[in-house]
Chains A and B, each alone.
Chain A
Amino acid sequence: MKLRKNFLIILILTLCLLLSVGTALAKPVTITFWHAMSGSRLGVLESIIESFNAAHPDLEVKPLFTGSYAETLTKYVTAYPTGTAPNIVQVYEVGTQTMIDSDAIIPVYKIPEMLGETWDWAQYVIPITHYYSVDGNLWSMPFNSSTAMLYYNKDIFKAAGLDPNKPPTTWKEMEEYGEKILASGVVDHVYSGGWPDWIFEQTLAYNDHLYADNDNGRTGLAKKVVFNDDFGYMVFDTWVRLHKKGIYIYGGVEYEANSAFNAGQIAMLIQSTSSLAGIIKASKFKVGTSFLPRFEGYPVGNSVIGGGSLWITKGQSDEELRGVWEFLKYLSREDIAIKWHKGTGYFPASSGALKTLLDEGWFSADQTYLTAFLQILAGRRDTAASTGVRLGPFVAMRDLFRAALEKAIAGELSPKDALDEAAEKMNALLKDYAELYGK
């Protein structure tokens, strides 16, 4: 007993000694980084940070998982006034306007200048930089960018007598294919999807249709939404009609529908490209990917960037800011961007990484990884409508859209009434936001 006690004391003393020697030897600058990456993404992120720390003995990036995107933003908002905000925070694309208006961050385009460096911002994939730019300057660092695309089960297509290399390209075809697949009896429902609010935004942008005024909130704060017009009604009507026919089955808010697709219970899925690696791993059938379906006869736009980007808190010491910048540069390095892409399915943000992936045959080995790139690079990028919408109270507005779709699908309201009701409530939110920011 006594021996054990002595042993404990010695152990504790040794530990204290070791720790103090450790800190005396190297005092690395600590960079705190709050993020919302869970699941398989977390492992990839952690291994990237480990390799960064190993390569930079004078710097230490400390990642902290702070919950979902929404929770991370909430934590950041409450931490900032008390001076406990991290150096870097990952914010989802819906939080972009909130961060721009926050007065809590340094726009990333200013950082190299502050440190006496220059940086070529054009090396990033253009639609991504467009999304996070204000007046042509990049405000946050592209990190985990995704977009939405169509996933389909080639085996089910074959079983239903369809050509597995001809996925639907229009919503009209979605309906026709849907009827055929239903008639074949292979599955009970044909397609589902995640993020219905985001998919609606995607659908508008993909047909070059504005969501809100002031150029989708990009030339000034959006004052009202403009999606409740003939085109919006048509999109909404189509979805509700397909649901009534049993072709579409509503799949929840985020990734709930993926399991139905992976299990072969639905033939198609409209989902974020960031699900690709997970779907390929979890499914036992041949996965096909293609562009989002379009509405025929309407102008061509582009699919919109989603996911998250990194924002830098203002008021850091020069030492810290230099460390932050080193880390951001490291994340843009070709090999790191490639590792990130392969591990998660998110876009590698730089065009250099894209070329290397192409050269090494990554895309020809698995063509499904190419779809998202071709989709955003083939689309137009010179209109506000195709760049995507930027809104102040975006999170609340998405909730309203989701509620409207759910009400219309349940038959509580007609599609038109549901969409109008949502638009009216959204306009009230936009008015409040404008009042608060005095613009």
Chain B
Amino acid sequence: MQEDRFPGHKFLPYLLIAPSIAVIIVFLIGPFVQSIRESLFVSTPFGTKTIYVGLRNYVRLFSSPDYRSSVIATFKFSAFVIIGGLSISLAIAQLLNQKIKGVGFYQVALIWTYAISPTVAGVIWASMFAPATGLIPYIVSKLSGGYTLNWMTNGNIALFVVATAATWKMLGYNIIFFLAGLQNVPDEFLEAAQMDGAGSWKAFWRITFPMLSPTTSFLLFVNMLYAFFQVFGLIDIMTRGGPGNATELLVYKLYRDGFIHLNTGFASAQSLVIFLVISVVAIIQLRIVTQKAIYSR
């Protein structure tokens, strides 16, 4: 039996959490229920006419080749951003954790990308790769003797550039957390390992990496949400889903269909599908990764 923490005030706890519950109902549950409802209808943009269509929006969604390619692009993109981004960040964080001269400067220089707004980051990368005026196509053309690197007409390059930009944008955030995690690894452990004759490579994988697992699992989760939802700004600035839908990730497709093409029913169906996918992935992740994570104290 739990002890009574609010003796004599039976309803006080409920009163205290009421504001949070209200916010959740108004801003999360309400819209959620509304999207479920709307996903069963088609309606005119101004809502002058609404027709019940049952599951037609879902049927169309799953039979649409565009949606399938959007799913594939999203998974490719996320894999790149999560795996590539986390590996690079960890490597950089490890380098930054050395006792070298001017480490403060390097830390700031590598972390500040996180402070750049998606718009600015998008513009920077888009102008670097601009087919006719950009620096990188220019270098490629000079080095290769005339090859035109045009990411506006090559879907694979476009996806790669957008994913690289997204990874770069998130590096700062990942590095901060990895750095904090690394600094929490007690020196004694590493010293003991050294005494036992382990090289720095072995010490990293046997001691540092396992001890980082709470940080890693947290970052995995955050990066997944980032790759699924928060890259919207970058895509909108850089490619708008093009060329030929190559960078039309799920969340961007939802935005185009719902807010630009004004097709709310279809977009609601998409939002529910994304919700389900994310929930499943999140549950798996929390089950597996968190159980294996080693909490040092």
Contact = CB atoms under 8 A, between A and B. Distances in A.
Contact of B263 (A73, A189, A396, A404): A396
A102 B262 contact: no
A252 interface: yes
Interface of chain A, main secondary structure: helix
Interface stretch (A48-56, A220-228, A407-415): A407-415
A356 interface: no
Given A74-B260, A250-B131, A407 B244 contact: yes
Contacts of A374: none
Interface stretch (A36-44, A201-209, A258-266, A294-302): A258-266
Interface in A184-207: 188-189, 192
Chain B contact patch, size range: 35 or more
A102 B45 contact: yes
Interface string B259-290: 11111000000000000000000000000000
Nearest to A71: B259
Interface stretch (B73-81, B109-117, B150-158, B207-215): B150-158
A393 B261 CA distance: 7
Interface residues of A, number: 46
A176 interface: no
B153 A410 contact: yes
Given A77-B45, A98-B262, A403 B245 contact: yes
A436 B51 contact: yes
A260 B152 contact: no
Contacts of B133: 259-260, 263, 265
A403 B44 contact: no
A396 B261 contact: yes
A212 interface: no
Contacts of A71: 259
Contact of B132 (A80, A249, A407, A437): A249
Contacts of A266: 132
Given A395-B260, A410-B244, A265 B132 contact: yes
A250 B130 contact: no
A265 B130 CA distance: 12
Interface of A: 70-71, 73-74, 77, 80-81, 98, 101-104, 188-189, 192, 243, 246, 249-253, 256-257, 259-260, 263, 265-266, 393, 395-396, 399, 402-404, 406-407, 409-410, 412, 432, 435-438
Given A70-B260, A406-B155, A436-B49, 6 more contacts: A246-B148, A265-B132, A403-B243, A404-B244, A406-B152, A406-B242
Interface of B: 42-49, 51, 126, 130-133, 141, 146, 148, 150, 152-155, 240-246, 256-257, 259-263
14 contacts: A81-B46, A102-B44, A103-B48, A188-B141, A188-B146, A243-B153, A246-B148, A249-B150, A263-B133, A403-B242, A403-B245, A406-B242, A432-B42, A438-B49
